[in-house]
Chain A
Amino acid sequence: MKLELGYIFIKDIQFGNVSKVEGGVLYVNKDELKKLVMEDTVIASVDFDIAKPGESVRITPVKDVIEPRVKVEGTGAMFPGMLNKVETVGNGKTHVLKGAAVVTCGKIVGFQEGIIDMSGEGAKYTPFSETLNLVMVADPVEGTKQHDHEKAIRMAGLKVAAYIGELGKNVKADEYHTFETPNMVEGMKLYPNLPRVAYVLMLQTQGLLHDTYVYGVDMKQSISTLIYPTEIMDGAILSGNCVSACDKNTTYHHQNNPVVHDMFDAHGKTINFVGVIITNENVYLMDKERSSDWSAKMAAMLGLDGVIISQEGFGNPDTDLIMNCKKIEAKGIKTVIITDEYAGRDGKSQSLADADVAANAVVTGGNANEVIVLGSMKKIIGKADTTVVNTIAGGFGSDPVHGASLKDDGSIIVEIQAITGATNELGFNKMSAR
């Protein structure tokens, strides 16, 4: 399967009368977008704002981040099975409004949404301080249940991102990149001497608003399966997650999965990138056993030499991670795992809830318990009061050392857990010990 990504570099976002992309500037008609979102009767009110890199702006509580893309050639359409028909994507040509992002904001669960700072210390921890963000702040009608609320905000975000992406359909892209996965037989003929390596992508599926969707399928109801890496670039996998901000994979992370991109870079040079096995992180032990058995079984069926495994979230998914690792290693296939750590504020506690000697090659996204001070910002998009900041995962109402997270001057002291994407387990962030 072959996909060409055309990057249209976006240098600025402005509100205007006509929605269009012109000269690298994304113009958005706010009223059109509002009308689009208000089609859903669950939404009571919606507004849009723009946040740019370097501005004194804090966005919170953040649910999802989505990159605007559009199918130009090939089958299917963006977010198949969820926003559009379920036809297979990942082939043909897709345009990307590179540099722009749609951020959905509004309190759903409260403690499981995140913070994005566009400048200051916090900006260093989130990749979305470097994107031009069109922020949607929406509230549901009174009495809306949380899962209906999550769905409404998820769908509104996807609709807005698709609408914006569509504006790039007939615009000439600045750069084109081609990604191709040969079928297994062709791949073996093409690269007979290269190690066969696949990617095991673990998706957060604990339920209770911790869900990921694949072609519209709630992944907790699926067994592990195979997917072409280019399908992921076309929105086949998307986030329905309200979970700790630092290590959840937003839809933007999936669309731009750096493991996929790096493996494509190495494809045909140092490895034969065979494909992607997607698996879940369910709450029943039997599901964990079955899904990890299945990833290992598929890794063996594919005749792999090596596997990279990435995790999403933390806690009991550490067990899914270790099960995948040790069961795949037991098949004689080498593994590298990508995770993050909850090692306590002093970094001295056990980093993962589970461990095994087979996990002898580990990449970490950092310690989520690390404490950080986020200076006050001139402008808040969304809400940064005590009901959000002191209850967000990584924040605190009354800590013996730090007091409450939210200070009188609007500054915040939190664990980096509260920052969207801070310890991302796909390696999207830039934190390093070096």
Chain B
Amino acid sequence: MVKEIERAGIPVVHICTVVPISLTVGANRIVPAIAIPHPLGNPSLGKDEEKTLRRSLLDKALKALSTEVSGQTVFEN
């Protein structure tokens, strides 16, 4: 899906737990997620902490989307 959408000219950020798979399939902007059963959250955190975590992931993704890349890039921070 990542590749097909990019082929249509729309940049994509892939938020993904298993970064190596994302690299293998050819995503260009990759944001590491939390864990396979809960990529965008962490049920072991409290409600407020989890909201902060989710917000930070989304912010990171939006930042990645607006960043120029010259090749496959993993946005660690």
Contacts and interface: CB of A to CB of B under 8 A. Distances in A.
28 contacts: A206-B36, A207-B37, A208-B37, A283-B17, A283-B35, A283-B37, A284-B17, A284-B34, A284-B35, A284-B36, A285-B17, A285-B18, A285-B32, A316-B17, A316-B21, A316-B36, A319-B18, A319-B20, A319-B21, A322-B20, A323-B20, A353-B18, A353-B24, A354-B18, A354-B20, A354-B21, A354-B24, A355-B24
Interface string A3-43: 00000000000000000000000000000000000000000
A288 interface: yes
Given A206-B36, A207-B37, A208-B37, A285 B24 contact: no
Chain A contact patch, size range: 10 to 19
Contacts of A319: 18, 20-21
B2 interface: no
B65 interface: no
Contacts of B53: none
A103 to B, nearest CB: 29
A319 B24 CA distance: 10
A354 B34 CA distance: 19
Interface in B4-44: 17-21, 24, 32, 34-37
Interface of B: 17-21, 24, 32, 34-37
Nearest to A355: B24
Contacts of A288: 18
B36 A283 contact: yes
Interface string A275-291: 00000000111001000
Contacts of A355: 24
A288 B17 CA distance: 11
A355 B18 CA distance: 13
A144 B48 CA distance: 31
A206 B36 CA distance: 9
A207 B35 CA distance: 11
Contacts of B37: 206-208, 283
Top 9 closest A-B pairs, CB basis? A283-B36, A283-B35, A284-B35, A319-B18, A316-B18, A354-B21, A319-B20, A354-B24, A353-B21
Contacts of B24: 353-355
Counting chain A CB atoms within 10 Å of each CB, which of B18, B32, B34, B36 scores highest? B18
A268 to B, nearest CB: 38
